[in-house]
A and B are shown apart, each in its own frame.
Chain A
């Protein structure tokens, strides 16, 4: 079935470092792709999304581009802050389904 695979963590960075979290997907159709963020002790928040190939989602300095040729949706941020410490989830919506398929999550810790 449709699924996503994201890089395992944890990832530890210094402030102002470049962050990349890899996400690849397997899908039979043309899914929408999402990145969610979960700050400590909270629920998930939608960070960004892309609905078709070559779309770029962006929010709060984060970006991800829907790459159909490589079936990827990698999350990037050029200069991270301590406040970016969180768990990041990649997700896709399988075609003709109400459910989202989530990756396992990547824990990111940014040190001052």
Chain B
């Protein structure tokens, strides 16, 4: 069966510091991968998605970036965090050609 992991689970970072969040999927090949952000009490905002290694599509302009160095690994990064980057970050995957997305447990980021 497929599983999706995210780490860390919780992160507290100062403004201006770098960020690296990791997401990995097991039990499937060539998944579509997604990064979402959920601000407190709000809905989901799609940040990036990827249909293959090295292929990243950005949905909103921001100081975040994403990379996919391996088939089942998706990384969300920032060089300098802003206060507004605080939120709950969710990674998701879907099988190529299928629409159902499966979500990881999320990373709660607090920027102080």
Contacts and interface: CB of A to CB of B under 8 A. Distances in A.
Q: Do A and B come from one complex?
A: yes
Interface of A: 32, 34, 36, 41-46, 49, 89, 93, 98-100, 102-105
B104 A49 contact: no
B51 A98 contact: yes
20 contacts: A32-B100, A34-B100, A36-B103, A42-B105, A42-B106, A43-B6, A43-B90, A43-B103, A43-B105, A44-B103, A46-B102, A89-B43, A98-B32, A98-B49, A98-B51, A100-B99, A100-B101, A102-B43, A104-B42, A105-B44
A85 to B, nearest CB: 15
Interface residues on B, range: 20 to 34
Interface of A is mostly: loop
B43 A46 contact: no
Contacts of B101: 46, 100
B110 interface: no
Interface of B: 6, 32, 34, 42-44, 46, 49, 51, 59, 90, 92, 94, 99-106, 108
A43 B105 CA distance: 4
Contact of B49 (A32, A89, A99, A104): A99
Given A98-B49, A98-B51, A99-B49, A89 B100 contact: no
Contact of A103 (B43, B94, B99, B104): B43
Contacts of B43: 89, 102-105
Contacts of B42: 104-105
A89 B42 CA distance: 11
A32 B101 CA distance: 12
